[in-house]
Chains A and B, each alone.
Chain A
Amino acid sequence: MRVAVIGAGVIGLSTALCVHEQFHSLLPSLELEVYADHYTPHTTSDGAAGLWQQPPLCCFHHRLWNKETFDYLLGLLGSPAAKEMGLFLISGYNLFTQPVPDPSWKNIVLGFRNLTPKELELFPGYSYGWFNTALMLECRRYLPWLTNRLTQRGVKFFHKKVESFQEMFAQGVDVVINCTGVRAGELQPDPELQPGRGQVIKVLAPWVKHFIITHDIESGIYTSPYIIPGSEFTVLGGIYQHGNWNEANSAQDHKTIWESCCRLLPALQKAKIVDEWSGLRPARPRVRLERETIRHGQVQAQVIHNYGHGGFGITIHWGCAMAAARLFGSILQEKKLASSLQPRL
């Protein structure tokens, strides 16, 4: 049984690992391969700051997948793997200009509470907010860690741009897992999938120990300044442009990010800029996580789609990987492969 995962960002690699972990012993004939034109550190995931947080005011219906991801990562925190994975706890602030309802994830994160008036003095212009402890998962470390786990398991990697699902089936692949992110439309048109262009400035500001995320209800998600400290540098952002495919950095966006973040945290004026990056969030009204049967000659070939995670791919990745693995399990059951097939959920 040959399975090809297309895409090597956080979604592709975690889905591959989840499938292999759950099925390799039940299905000795399983051959898992990863195909991608970009690998770490050149994927969209690599540019993300890595903060676990579902956009609070969006009505995505993904609470369970987010919770599964958080709980999974929280369980790994105390393990020796955590540092290698780029996983650590981080606390911080979400800021609003008016009171808002509590987010659906308030009981998923740790220590969620409203901000006190004294804390709000730190953030002039914001009159309401939350404090909580969440997780950081830095893909510059997580993706290599996933790659190592997969390599140890005998998964093969191919550096190539797959042009069509048919190309895979013609090679003898039985199941394709489509984790192609923002460019999934090149394999199969999807008008609901659009780039949500973002730009970030990376600075050295090691005195910043908290994430600070502001929200502008009118202008929409990711359009308001945010500051996210990582293990090496701090990410400044606040750009979201729907439908913009341009991956080049914009001077105007740089100015917007820099000025708004320095207003939020004046000490940033002294921070040294070390990098700038633009990326395309694979935005979709809902994540596409479903099976599709595709005719290939006489055969009904299977595709599992797992793309369209917008700006919350890291937040939701493991829950989606497990859901994709369940879909794979259902394919195996239909094919009556593996004798006592009990997918571990």
Chain B
Amino acid sequence: MAAPKVAVVGAGVIGLSTALCIMETCPSCSVTILSEQFSPNTTSDVAAGMLIPHTYPGTPIHVQKQWFKETFTYLFAISNSAEASEAGIHLVSGWQVFKNTPKEELPFWSDVVLGFRPMSKAELQKFPQHQFGQAFATLKCDCPPYLLWLEKRLKATGVQMYTRKVADLWELHSEYDIVVNCTGIGAHQLVGDKKLFPIRGQVLKVHAPWVKNFIRDGDGLTYIYPGIHRITLGGTREKENWSLSPDPGTSKDIFDRCCSLEPSLGGAQDIQVKVGLRPSRQCVRLQREVLSQGGVKLPVVHNYGHGAGGFSVHRGTAKEAACLVGECIAALQDSSSRAKL
């Protein structure tokens, strides 16, 4: 078949990186991105974009590690290049501190990040309420810059992008050969996935340029992530909460918790509040499906449900999704050549 027409639905970090991977593996494809929202209004734009993986209970650890490693390697190369500032990728070092020593002292990703080691006693003195900690350096993807950089690279390869709310994947069957579903939390309604649920996160983005290190409480609830222009202060993990409206009481609570980790934040300026719904699932839904109605088939590749770990594994899952798209193309070519016989 000439130039398979692929629609990628969703323009967050997953949609854009998946589209880019498809173009890299299948340059003859015609890829179009359809999304209700683009940067700066996606869930990805709210996230700090720190490469510290979330653990998916339903995915084998070696798979998660592979996804993380691919993503880290990819971004490491960008951070080391002249494009780093435009892409919003930069190295940050810091500390993950625990009030109680964790059961697992060595997370699966400890040898992927840089310089991972336990914190010294002297370093821990800065955190009197915490008993144990880990120091390391990792990468951060600032949004919107990273998404805008991905969009720029996509446009350079000829990918078209349209603002469009897709109500049903089937509506695309006449215009496209393959659909890639990167709709994040939108998949709950779009494909009726009841295993997908939001974990609401509220964050503050503040101006505090003297904060150069990240600090994260091992409980995952309180964190300070320095971005290029702003520091992301977090956060919350509210399961099944669909509200996108900022809550002022929550903002105060986040601010207080972060100030107790880093007192100098008391002098932070220009506090902005943002809310995002982590598209959470036991495991990332990364699989093929064939929709069919009345004898007509529409191959679909799903790539959603990355929860709190989207940035950490985005490139790894995008590559796998691109492989699945390749399989779909092969299957289509196979059946179309058989149809000719």
Contact = CB atoms under 8 A, between A and B. Distances in A.
Interface of A: 77-80, 82-84, 86, 88-91, 110-111, 113, 115-116, 118-119, 121-122, 131, 133, 136, 205-210, 229, 231-232, 266-267, 269-271
Residue of B94, B122, B209, B212 most packed against chain A (CB within 10 A): B212
Given A133-B123, A266-B84, A207 B212 contact: no
Given A90-B212, A207-B228, A111 B119 contact: yes
Interface in B122-176: 122-123, 126, 135, 137, 142
A131 B117 CA distance: 12
25 contacts: A78-B126, A82-B263, A83-B210, A83-B264, A88-B210, A88-B211, A88-B212, A89-B212, A89-B213, A91-B137, A111-B122, A111-B123, A119-B114, A121-B80, A131-B115, A133-B123, A133-B213, A207-B85, A208-B90, A209-B90, A209-B213, A231-B209, A266-B82, A267-B82, A271-B85
Contacts of B123: 110-111, 133
B267 interface: yes
Contacts of B29: none
Given A77-B126, A91-B213, A267-B82, A209 B115 contact: no
B91 interface: yes
B2 to A, nearest CB: 40
A80 B120 contact: no
Given A83-B267, A119-B137, A207-B85, A232 B209 contact: yes
Nearest to B116: A116
B84 A267 contact: yes
B92 interface: yes
Given A84-B267, A91-B93, A206-B209, 10 more contacts: A77-B264, A82-B263, A82-B264, A83-B266, A88-B211, A89-B212, A111-B119, A111-B120, A115-B115, A122-B91
Contacts of A269: 82
Contacts of B234: none
Interface in B201-235: 209-213, 226, 228-229
B84 A207 contact: yes
- Secondary structure at the A interface, as helix, strand, loop or mixed, is mixed
Nearest to A266: B82
Given A78-B263, A267-B85, A209 B91 contact: yes
A136 B213 CA distance: 13
A216 to B, nearest CB: 22
B120 A110 contact: yes
Nearest to B111: A118
8 closest cross-chain pairs (CB), A and B: A267-B84, A83-B267, A88-B210, A207-B90, A231-B210, A266-B82, A207-B228, A209-B212
Interface string B62-86: 0000000000000000011111111
A148 to B, nearest CB: 16
A229 B91 CA distance: 13
B81 A267 contact: yes
Contacts of A122: 80, 91
A203 B289 CA distance: 51
A209 B210 CA distance: 9
A88 B264 contact: yes
Residue of B90, B94, B123 most packed against chain A (CB within 10 A): B90
Contacts of B84: 207, 266-267
A77 to B, nearest CB: 7
A267 B80 CA distance: 7
B114 A116 contact: yes
Contacts of A271: 85
B212 A91 contact: yes
Nearest to B77: A121
A136 B209 CA distance: 12
B149 to A, nearest CB: 12
Given A90-B212, A116-B114, A118-B114, A205 B85 contact: yes
A214 to B, nearest CB: 16
A208 B89 CA distance: 10
Contact of A210 (B93, B119, B228): B93
Given A80-B266, A89-B212, A91-B212, A270 B117 contact: no
A186 to B, nearest CB: 36
Nearest to B135: A111
Contacts of B115: 113, 115-116, 119, 131
Nearest to B94: A91
Nearest to A82: B264
B70 to A, nearest CB: 15
A206 B212 contact: no
A231 B269 CA distance: 13
Contacts of A118: 114
Contacts of B213: 89-91, 133, 209
A1 to B, nearest CB: 38
A270 B212 contact: no
Contacts of A231: 209-210
B245 to A, nearest CB: 30
A270 B126 contact: no
A211 to B, nearest CB: 9
Contacts of B81: 266-267
B83 to A, nearest CB: 8
Contacts of B90: 207-209
A209 B85 contact: no
B117 A113 contact: yes
A86 B210 CA distance: 8
A165 B52 CA distance: 61
Residue of A91, A111, A207 most packed against chain B (CB within 10 A): A207
A210 B212 contact: yes
